[in-house]
């Protein structure tokens, strides 16, 4: 099956050579071809170039993209889309003056989601999660990471990870699974955190590994959740099963979580709303990808990750949604890209690099997605008629994505 897309106003994020990630000043450069064609074959990107260089040939399908742009699909490297129900009541409680921390301390927050998830069947959880996945695909997401962490018992964590596995099997979108048993301390272990950590290490991890349910391991390294030493212990245990760390750090406090993550060669460190100069120095010494989650800052009214400080220090940066019921009930990467430009002062070029190629790196998927490169999956989106790619963040809150393709197949209209 060969498909030809012609008269593309601008083909965005074209990388002839394989690029792992882009950092610092490179992030300002977004390679494009104006007046382009794109050929896809058997679900992969086969060829592209300027319309004037297109040779006559026969194709199974020919699609005219006059006035429209093509971009690789968004790579959302941090989500919690497998959850049960919602936490709309906590949203209203915050409007009425309670803080996110107060709500969590009153038994709300992550423990509230865990209770709901424990009471939900695997089938129902799958149906709710698949609906969210389909919604974000229509918005242009073409590769996604999904975490566990709303189970907090052996059975419920396995249930979440099995749902992720089923999503992997049933959808064309590449999915990576992350085990986040260390997301909060369940009530049963309120006065015995060590007991819960032992449960994670001695019961959850071996079972997850036996069923091959996770690619990565995550810990919520934060005051009131898991300390640096506990994070160290959990990441070390995960490593024995080949799980690569991706860690929640520096959301509310800077407590040397970045340093311990880097010691464990974390693929990414995520959140970073509170970032000290020492943290920045530590990041500079590493291959680890910093990940910002601006929709979370927006929803909770907390500081935005200092993107300028990070990029101007020569580092790479990734943008992801953090889609979850408590701190970010939105999986819209277009909004993330817009908010990064508006609130974090990233240029459209930087934000698109952060949401595509760097997001792919943050999931170990840079060989497959994140750019228009021959041999990568034909995961791309066609925009509506727009004057420039900067129009995507500029028109914040509008959906300018018309059609999404995953592995060469139309995933939306
Ligand atoms: O990434 N920070 C920790 N975990 C999630 C939110 C958890 C929740 O409120 O349900 C996050 O923001
Ligand atoms: Fe998160």
What is the arithmetic mean of pLDDT over 3-25? 97
Nearest-angstrom CA–CA distance, 159 and 151: 8
Instruction: Please check the confidence at residue 413 and state whether its pLDDT lies above 80.
Output: no
Kindly report the CATH number assigned to the domain that includes residue 386.
Answer: 2.30.40.10
CA of 197 to the centre of ligand 1 (A): 19
User: In this structure, is residue 290 part of a structural domain?
Assistant: yes
Q: Is 220 in the pocket of ligand 1 (CB under 6 A)?
A: yes
Overall domain count for the chain? 2
Q: Whose CA is nearest to atom 5 of ligand 1?
A: 327
Q: Whose CA is nearest to atom 9 of ligand 1?
A: 326
User: In this structure, is residue 268 part of a structural domain?
Assistant: yes
User: In this structure, is residue 158 part of a structural domain?
Assistant: yes
What is the arithmetic mean of pLDDT over 345-372? 98
Looking at every residue in the chain, the average pLDDT score rounds to 97
CA of 25 to the centre of ligand 2 (A): 27
pLDDT in tens, 325-351: 999 999 999 999 999 999 999 999 999
Give buried/exposed letters for 304-334 (b at 16+ CB in 10 A, else e): bbbbeebbebebbbbbbbbbbbbbbbbbbbb
Same domain, 165 and 23: no
User: In this structure, is residue 366 part of a structural domain?
Assistant: no
Output the pLDDT for position 130.
98
User: In this structure, is residue 33 part of a structural domain?
Assistant: yes
Same domain, 58 and 164: no
Tell which one of 248, 295, 336 to mutate to probe ligand 1, the residue whose CB is within 8 A of the most ligand atoms.
Answer: 248
Same domain, 185 and 303: yes
59 — pLDDT class (breaks 50, 70, 90): confident
Last residue of a domain, one of 361, 384, 399: 361
**Under 8 Å between Cβ of 72 and 132:** no
What is the arithmetic mean of pLDDT over 369-377? 98
Nearest-angstrom CA–CA distance, 361 and 288: 10
User: In this structure, is residue 273 part of a structural domain?
Assistant: yes
Instruction: Please check the confidence at residue 30 and state whether its pLDDT lies above 90.
Output: yes
pLDDT in tens, 245-275: 999 999 999 999 999 999 999 999 999 999 9
Nearest-angstrom CA–CA distance, 94 and 179: 29
Kindly report the CATH number assigned to the domain that includes residue 232.
Answer: 3.20.20.140
Same domain, 165 and 241: yes
User: In this structure, is residue 34 part of a structural domain?
Assistant: yes
Predicted structure pTM score: 0.98
Please state which of the ranges 23-27, 48-52, 100-104, 162-166 shows the lowest mean pLDDT: 100-104
Same domain, 122 and 82: yes
Same domain, 352 and 400: no
Instruction: Please check the confidence at residue 160 and state whether its pLDDT lies above 90.
Output: yes
Same domain, 205 and 80: yes
Same domain, 173 and 209: yes
Tell which one of 111, 326, 331 to mutate to probe ligand 1, the residue whose CB is within 8 A of the most ligand atoms.
Answer: 326
Nearest-angstrom CA–CA distance, 287 and 58: 45
Nearest alpha carbon to residue 315 among 292, 286, 295, 338: 286
Same domain, 341 and 379: no
- Does 94 show up as a binding residue in the annotation? no
User: In this structure, is residue 335 part of a structural domain?
Assistant: yes
Same domain, 231 and 379: no
Same domain, 355 and 402: no
Same domain, 222 and 95: yes
> The domain containing residue 56 runs over which residues?
2-72+371-410
106 — pLDDT class (breaks 50, 70, 90): confident
ipTM of the complex: 0.96
């Amino acid at each position: 099956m060969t498909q030809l897309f012609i008269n593309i106003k601008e083909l965005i994020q074209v990388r002839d050579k394989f690029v792992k990630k882009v950092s610092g000043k490179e992030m300002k450069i977004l390679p494009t071809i104006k007046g382009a064609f794109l050929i896809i074959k058997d679900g992969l990107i086969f060829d592209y170039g300027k319309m004037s260089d297109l040779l006559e040939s026969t194709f199974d399908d020919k699609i005219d993209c006059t006035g429209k742009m093509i971009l690789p699909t968004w790579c959302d490297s941090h989500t919690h889309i497998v959850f049960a129900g919602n936490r709309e009541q906590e949203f209203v409680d915050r409007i009425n003056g309670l803080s996110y921390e107060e709500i969590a301390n009153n038994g709300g927050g992550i423990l509230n989601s865990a209770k709901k998830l424990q009471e939900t069947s695997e089938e129902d959880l799958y149906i709710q999660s698949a609906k969210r996945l389909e919604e974000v695909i229509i918005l242009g997401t073409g590769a996604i990471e999904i975490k566990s962490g709303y189970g907090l018992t052996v059975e419920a964590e396995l249930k979440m990870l099995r749902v992720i596995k089923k999503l992997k099997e049933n959808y064309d979108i590449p999915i990576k699974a992350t085990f986040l048993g260390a997301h909060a301390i369940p009530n049963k272990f309120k006065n015995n955190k060590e007991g819960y950590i032992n449960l994670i290490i001695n019961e959850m991890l071996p079972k997850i590994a036996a069923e091959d349910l996770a690619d990565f391991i995550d810990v919520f390294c934060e005051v009131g959740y898991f300390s640096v030493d506990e994070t160290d212990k959990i990441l070390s245990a995960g490593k024995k099963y080949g799980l690569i760390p991706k860690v929640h750090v520096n959301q509310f406090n800077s407590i040397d979580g970045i340093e311990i993550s880097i010691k464990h060669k974390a693929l990414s460190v995520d959140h970073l709303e509170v970032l000290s100069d020492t943290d920045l120095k530590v990041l500079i010494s590493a291959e680890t990808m910093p990940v910002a989650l601006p929709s979370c800052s927006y929803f909770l009214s907390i500081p935005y990750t200092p993107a300028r400080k990070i990029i101007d220090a020569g580092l790479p940066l990734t943008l992801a949604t953090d889609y979850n019921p408590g701190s970010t009930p939105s999986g819209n990467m277009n909004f993330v890209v817009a908010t990064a430009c508006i609130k974090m002062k990233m240029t459209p070029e930087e934000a698109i690099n952060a949401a595509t190629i760097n997001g792919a790196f943050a999931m170990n998927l840079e060989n497959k997605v994140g750019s228009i490169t021959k041999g990568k999956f034909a995961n791309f989106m066609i925009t509506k008629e727009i004057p420039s790619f900067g129009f995507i963040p500029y028109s914040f809150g509008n959906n300018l994505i018309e059609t999404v393709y995953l592995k060469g197949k139309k995933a939306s209209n």
